[in-house]
Amino acid sequence: MQHNSGIKAAPTDRARSTRRKSPAPETDASLGRIVRVLMGYPTVVISGTKLAQEIGTTRSEVWRLVEQLRTLGVEIAGHPSSGYQLTAVPDLLLPEMIEPLLRSTIFGENVHHYYRVGSTNTVAMDAAAAGAPEGTVFLAEQQTAGRGRASNQWHSAESTGIYCSVILRPALPPSDVLVLSLAAGLAVQSAIQEVDSHALPDLKWPNDVLIMGKKFCGILTEMNAEATRVRHIVVGIGVNVNQNSFPAELEQSATSLRLTTGIEWSRVEVCAALLKSLDREYHKLLENRDAQAEILRRFEERSSSARGRQVRVEEKGGFEGMTEGLDPRGFLQVRTRQGLRTVYSGTVRFK
């Protein structure tokens, strides 16, 4: 099922691993450096020589990089003889744009960017297994094999959404990871409200964030763990930001911030707000003894469907009932005719 939200099952891990190609190339850091230098002189035409000096390369290399940026939609006026000037601030999730906004967080030092990648979660899980530090962030303009929960696909159109995965290494048992994942939903909800105080994002257990009943954000939390100890976690967040439309099969269930507010959003601003908010939730979870209960309480409070909502659960043959809050581990409770049932992993559909 495509899951912003909707359709087909993604390939199984086995199928994926036999077909795995060499990893997508990371974005050339010089591109981000050029953008930053041009942004530093917004009203001035900068000569090719000056740009070349600033980033430590040749004029012909600057020309090549400028041409590449143009193909990526960055608006740069001028040419080698006259010099260059940015005509619009680009909304690309380049490390040079994001890192300065995240200095006070664990996410400010290791941001990796891809113009196109299979799945940022897959790249992050591989990097974590190879020893990448906590707080490493993977961002992409486009995913060709974006993954959702329960082997669903995540529709990941170019430069309209945020496709972000982060590596965490908390000293927690695997049983606490669901609470961390619920905290990520709370972080998204707060971040969106910080950027637009009129927005009313709603949480749907376990990891969907909705506006006006339609999904605009999904979270895929994956981990590598021993029975008692988490080795690493990857929290993957997909946010539909500036999509104007969705494929027909998603139209009924998916929305974007742009479609719900009528305005174009800065992905850089949303992404930075999101990671700052996630950093706050993560620190609360690790530093405060009562944090888990508090996260569950807040989730119930900020979700219109965690209690008192008639649902159908696609799990163990399917069952229906009324939601009755979360249990102390973070699983959804549903009151059915046969009694109280706990939802472990099934998809929850509103009735």
Q: Give me the residues that bind ligand BTN (CB under 6 A), please.
A: 3, 119-121, 143, 146-149, 152, 154, 163-165, 207-208, 218-220, 236-238
Closer by beta carbon to ligand BTN, 210 or else 230: 210
Closer by beta carbon to ligand BTN, 203 or else 237: 237
CA distance 28 to 172: 36
- Other residues' Cβ atoms within 10 Å of the Cβ of residue 186: 22
How do strand 339-343 and strand 332-336 relate by DSSP bridges?
antiparallel
Closer by beta carbon to ligand BTN, 119 or else 260: 119
Strand partners, 189: none
Q: Structure tokens of 140?
A: 């992409």
Closer by beta carbon to ligand BTN, 84 or else 154: 154
Rounded to a whole number of angstroms, the minimum distance from the CB of residue 126 to ligand BTN is 12
DSSP string, 100-118: GGGTTSTTSS-EEEESSBS
Q: Which residues of 53-80 are buried (b: 16+ CB within 10 A; e: fewer)?
A: ebbebeeebbbebbebbeeeebebebee
Rounded to a whole number of angstroms, the minimum distance from the CB of residue 170 to ligand BTN is 19
| Nearest-CB residue for ligand BTN | 218
- Asked if 255 and 11 touch (Cβ cutoff 8 Å), the reply is no
Rounded to a whole number of angstroms, the minimum distance from the CB of residue 292 to ligand BTN is 22
- Asked if 334 and 321 touch (Cβ cutoff 8 Å), the reply is yes
Polymer length of the chain: 351
Closer by beta carbon to ligand BTN, 145 or else 291: 145
Rounded to a whole number of angstroms, the minimum distance from the CB of residue 11 to ligand BTN is 12
Closer by beta carbon to ligand BTN, 292 or else 347: 347
- Other residues' Cβ atoms within 10 Å of the Cβ of residue 153: 21
With H, G, I as helix, E, B as strand and everything else as coil, classify residue 326.
strand
Rounded to a whole number of angstroms, the minimum distance from the CB of residue 24 to ligand BTN is 13
Closer by beta carbon to ligand BTN, 84 or else 163: 163
Rounded to a whole number of angstroms, the minimum distance from the CB of residue 115 to ligand BTN is 15
**Which residues 6+ apart lie within 8 Å of 37 measured at CB?**
46, 51, 54, 55
Rounded to a whole number of angstroms, the minimum distance from the CB of residue 338 to ligand BTN is 29
